[in-house]
Amino acid sequence: MLLSNSFIPILKNNPSEAKIKSHQLMLRVGMIKQASAGIYSWLPLGFKVMKKIEQIVREEQNKIGAQEILMPTIQSSEIWKESGRYDDYGEEMLRITDRQNREMLYGPTNEEQVTEIFRSSIKSYKSLPQLMYHIQWKFRDEIRPRFGIMRGREFYMKDAYSFDVSDEEAFFSYNKFFLSYLKTFKRLDLTAIPMAADTGPIGGNLSHEFIILADTGESKIFTDKRIFDLNSDDTQLEKSSLEKMRKKYEQFYAVTDEKFNKDEFEKIVSKENQLITKGIEVGHIFYFGDKYSKPMNASVDLPGGKKDFVKMGSYGIGVSRLVGAIIEAKYDEKNEIMKWPLSVAPYDIALIPMINKNDNSALDRANNINSELLKNNIDAIIDDTDENFSSKIKKMNLIGAPYQILIGKKSEGDLLEFKETGGETQNLPLNKIIEIINKQKNSI
Find the binding residues for ligand ATP in span 125-144 (CB under 6 A): 140, 142
Residue 228 CB contacts under 8 Å (≥ 6 apart), including other chains: 191, 193
Minimum distance from residue 57 beta carbon to ligand ATP (Å): 11
Amino acid at 120: S
Q: Which range of residues in 70-78, 166-174, 227-235, 317-325 is near ligand ATP by CB under 6 A?
A: 317-325
Which one of residues 311, 321, 330, 339 is an interface residue with ligand ATP (CB under 6 A)?
A: 321
Q: Which range of residues in 75-83, 261-269, 289-297, 315-323 is near ligand ATP by CB under 6 A?
A: 315-323
Could you say whether residue 341 binds ligand ATP (CB under 6 A)? no
Could you say whether residue 279 binds ligand ATP (CB under 6 A)? no
- Peptide bond just before 72 cis, omega within 30 deg: no
Which one of residues 60, 281, 328, 417 is an interface residue with ligand ATP (CB under 6 A)?
A: 281
Query: CA-to-CA distance for 216 and 266, rounded, in angstroms?
Result: 25
Find the binding residues for ligand ATP in span 73-92 (CB under 6 A): none
Which one of residues 176, 208, 284, 395 is an interface residue with ligand ATP (CB under 6 A)?
A: 284
Over the window 186 to 225, marking each residue x when it contacts ligand ATP by CB under 6 A and - when it does not, the resulting string is: --------------x-------------------------
Query: CA-to-CA distance for 61 and 45, rounded, in angstroms?
Result: 25
Could you say whether residue 155 binds ligand ATP (CB under 6 A)? yes
Could you say whether residue 330 binds ligand ATP (CB under 6 A)? no
Supply φ then ψ for residue 77, to 5 degrees. Answer: -70, -20
Minimum distance from residue 214 beta carbon to ligand ATP (Å): 13
* Binding residues for ligand ATP, total number by CB under 6 A: 16
N-terminal to C-terminal alpha carbon distance within the chain: 24
The answer to whether 329 and 22 are in contact (CB under 8 A) is no
Minimum distance from residue 53 beta carbon to ligand ATP (Å): 12
Minimum distance from residue 259 beta carbon to ligand ATP (Å): 13
Q: Which range of residues in 24-32, 277-285, 299-307, 348-356 is near ligand ATP by CB under 6 A?
A: 277-285
Which one of residues 129, 316, 353, 400 is an interface residue with ligand ATP (CB under 6 A)?
A: 316
Minimum distance from residue 246 beta carbon to ligand ATP (Å): 19
Supply φ then ψ for residue 197, to 5 degrees. Answer: -135, 160
Minimum distance from residue 243 beta carbon to ligand ATP (Å): 23
CA 285 from centre of chain:
14
Q: CA–CA distance from 184 to each of 53, 56, 176, 361 (Å)?
A: 9, 7, 12, 43
Supply φ then ψ for residue 21, to 5 degrees. Answer: -65, -30
Over the window 233 to 272, marking each residue x when it contacts ligand ATP by CB under 6 A and - when it does not, the resulting string is: ----------------------------------------
Minimum distance from residue 321 beta carbon to ligand ATP (Å): 4
Minimum distance from residue 264 beta carbon to ligand ATP (Å): 22
Residues paired with 106 in a beta bridge: 74, 94
Which one of residues 56, 245, 282, 380 is an interface residue with ligand ATP (CB under 6 A)?
A: 282
Of residues 105 and 434, the one with the C-beta less far from ligand ATP: 105
Of residues 199 and 427, the one with the C-beta less far from ligand ATP: 199
The answer to whether 106 and 74 are in contact (CB under 8 A) is yes
Chain residues in the site for ligand ATP (CB under 6 A): 109, 140, 142, 151-152, 155, 157, 200, 281-284, 316, 318, 320-321
